[in-house]
Each structure stands twice: as C-alpha cells, then as structure tokens.
Amino acid sequence: MLSMYKPDTATVHPCGKLSGSLAVPGDKSISHRVGMLASISAGISRVQGYLNSSDCVGLLRAMEALGACTMRSKDDGFAIHGTGKKILEPSGALDLGNSGTAMRLLTGLLSGFSTPVTLSGDESLRSRPMRRIEEPLRRMGARIQLTGERGCAPLRVNGGNLKAIEYEMPMASAQVKSAIMLAALFAKGTTTIIEPAPTRDHTEQVLRMLGLPVRVDGLTISVEGFGPEGPPLKARSWSIPGDISSAAFWLVAVAANRRSSVTIRGVGLNPRRTAILGVLERMGAKLKVHMDKNARDGEPVGEVRVSGTRLKGTVIGGEEIPNLIDEIPILAVAGALAEGETVIKDAAELRVKESDRIQSICQSLTALGVECEEMEDGMRIVGPATIHAPRKPLPSFGDHRIAMSLAVLGMFADEPLTIRGVECIETSYPGFWDHLKGLGGHVEQY
C-alpha cells in the first residue's frame, strides 16, 4: 500500500541569495467566499485559481455535504455545481479543519436556511471565539448554539426567518462583517453594519460581482435583504488572484537580503490587503508594483518586484493593522532583520488567530536569540539580530504562518534551523517548499 506519510519536520539551510520569479497560489479569503456562494448558486461555476489547500478544499467538502458537487478541472481550478439555494441536512457535524473563515462565514450563510447544521473543526478552531458572530446573528433571529467550551465551536446553526439589523461592530473583523452580510441577504429589510476601521472587502466585491445590492459609505456597509427566499444566485466563472499573504514571505525574505531579487506575478493588490507594501517601504524596502490593466473580478491584480537592501525598524499600528493582520508574523521577522527597533501595537486580535500569535512569535524570536519584548497588544523587537539556530527543533505552534515565518528566518540563521510541525503549511500554501527551493533556498523534509 502507498504510504500517506507527509513530512512534518523541515530543516532550512542558510541561504546566500534568492532570485527568480513565481506566482503564489490563489487568495484564501476570496476562495472561501467564491467556494461558498458558487456552491449554492444555480448551475456550474468555473473557478480558476481556487486555492487547492486543506482549508479551502475542506470548505468544498463541507459544501458537498450540503448538496454541492465539486470537481477539480484541468486548468488548475475547480468546477462547482451549485445547489440552487437548496441545502441538504448533513448526517453529522461538518469538519472545517483549521479554517476560521469557513466557520464564521458559513455560520452567517447557514443562518439564512431553516436546515439545522453543526460545524466543528480541529483543536485550534475549537478554541477560537465564536460569540462575536453568535451575538449579531442571534439578533437577526438565528439560533446559534455554542456547544464547545467558553463560547467556542462545535456550533449548531438553526436559521431562517431573519430580520435586518443595524450593527456597530465592537472589533475590526472582516469575518464577522462577512457573516452578517451573508445572513443579511436572507433577511427582510436593509441590514447596516458599521466597522470601527476598514477591513478586507472581498465579500463586498464578490456580492457585487453576483449583481447583489451592497452599498458602502465610508465605514458603513448596507445590504438589501431578499427575505427567506434569498437572493438570485446564478453560476458564473471566477478568476482568483494570487494571495498577497503568501507572497509576503518572499517579499520579506528578499527585501532583507541585499543580494536577492524576485518578481511575484499575478498577485492580488486589493488596497485593503496591501498595507504590508507600505510598511516594507517605510522600512526601506525596494519594491516595484505594476498593476495589470485587466482587474480580475473586481479585484486588482499585478506584479511585485522586490530587491534586497538593509531594512530599518518601524512602528506598525492603528488603522493599518486590519489590512496586514495575517502578515504580522513575517513582519516581525523583518523587524528582527532590520536595523533598530520595530514596534507592533494595536494588534491584540493576534491572540485569537490560529495560535496566540503574539506569544508564538515572541517565543520563537527569543529562542533564536532575538531581543523581543511581548506586550498585551503587540511586541517590540530589536534588530538587526544574529539568528542563532538552536540545536532542538523549534515548534510551529500548529500555525501555518508561524511555520513559514520560521522557514524564512532559517535562511538568515548561522546554522541549519529545524522546524517541527510544518504540515500545517498545507492549510494556506501548498507548494511553499517547492517555491523556497525554486528561488534558491535549500531545505530537507522528513
């Protein structure tokens, strides 16, 4: 029998320079939204660039349990045969693996249906806060039972008969905003959501591409409800750009290495996702951005060329945080390699991501000999540090973005750096190690 063994340990070697060009895999946030809506549309949607990662394929498995039919297509995408807004009652709980986006957005969407569904996930997902979606969805009329410990999943959704609400969000979260927006499509009346700060707007874009009525006025988003029948949803084709959150690892690895130069093609450049480019420029990075003339499905896309230099420290905080929240682990790496102090603040949301990222970043940097002070809402890092690879393997904390950030640090270390628990990289970046090797890095996996 063929073994299904997947390497979970990697040793990354110090690396002289990185060069070449690559296209990162599809955007994870957009893939989730398109995957969900295509699954309940009428007809077959062809999705080019859908992220073939465990989080996004796991979402498609869940949508299949609700009645959709999905197939990998030859052109590196998926064909999704939607249910035409009917959903089946699954026989058991749907396992959403590690994906907070899948759990929160699907809870919003399922709130529009009267079919009861239970959603669960891995240990990390079952420890992430879900009251933040339960509260507004309950006000709309859905019954959400949080059956896990301390307001966590597994959660049971019993929806239908929703009413529109006005909701002032207590935190900047695209997932909470999106859960409410998806439910709002099935409510009577206009739902209004007020954000404390701008967050990624892929749900707004995807709903607009489907011809649905979404209005945005500054920080206020209004969605016109269609009542229990839900909105008209017709299959269409989609083209998903590369994920800037995946490109971020190479942007930092190259920007901090004076001999390196790399081009990233076909990457999504939605202004609500590109705050990392501004931060890297403040740190002195040499970046050239070319927007493609033909934006894909309302989402700007283009090429980023980065070449290495000596980075300097900066302060990252305030309204830019939601627009680079997933890039903070790798920006902390940039801070460790930069001259002077880097301060990350206003980022307490990091404590409730796939791991407590403030703790996992600070523990990892400290173990590598970097001066790093943990704060309640961020950290202070002093660079440029000499990265000392410890003898013992470093843990990934089961967090894909920590694992990849450590891999980048390994390329700057004095000795080969071993990372344990790298399988989680599959949740967002299949092909990560091939890309590292393709650019000139060296890694052993076992």
Q: Measured from the CB atom, is 101 or 257 closer to ligand S3P?
A: 101
Catalytic-residue membership of 76: no
| φ, ψ (nearest 5 deg) of residue 422 | -95, 0
The b-or-e profile of 383-393 (16+ CB within 10 A means b, else e) is bbbebebeeeb
Least separation in angstroms between residue 290's CB and ligand S3P is 25
CA proximity to 85, closest of 61, 120, 62, 115: 115
Exactly one of 55, 243, 297, 326 is catalytic; which is it? 326
DSSP result, 6-43: ---EEEEPP-S--EEEEEPPBPHHHHHHHHHHHHHSEE
Q: Measured from the CB atom, is 101 or 124 closer to ligand S3P?
A: 101
Least separation in angstroms between residue 330's CB and ligand S3P is 13
- State the pairing for strand pair 187-188/162-163: parallel
Q: Measured from the CB atom, is 243 or 303 closer to ligand S3P?
A: 243
Q: Which two tokens stand for residue 247?
A: 């490109």
Q: Measured from the CB atom, is 200 or 435 closer to ligand S3P?
A: 200
Q: Measured from the CB atom, is 174 or 212 closer to ligand S3P?
A: 174
| Dihedral class, residue 327 (left if φ above 0, else alpha if ψ from -120 to 50, else beta) | alpha
Least separation in angstroms between residue 202's CB and ligand S3P is 7
> What's the rounded Cα separation, in Å, for the pair 143 and 151?
14
Q: Is the dihedral of CA 23, 27, 28, 33 positive or negative?
A: negative
Least separation in angstroms between residue 199's CB and ligand S3P is 6
Least separation in angstroms between residue 433's CB and ligand S3P is 21
CA proximity to 283, closest of 353, 343, 348: 343
Neighbours of 170 (CB within 10 A): 11
Q: Which residue is nearest to ligand S3P (CB)?
A: 29
Tell me the β-bridge partners of 328. none
Please say whether the beta carbons of 144 and 137 come within 8 A: yes
> Interface with ligand S3P by CB under 6 A: which residues?
29, 32, 101, 173-175, 178, 199-200, 325-326, 349
The catalytic site residues sit at 326
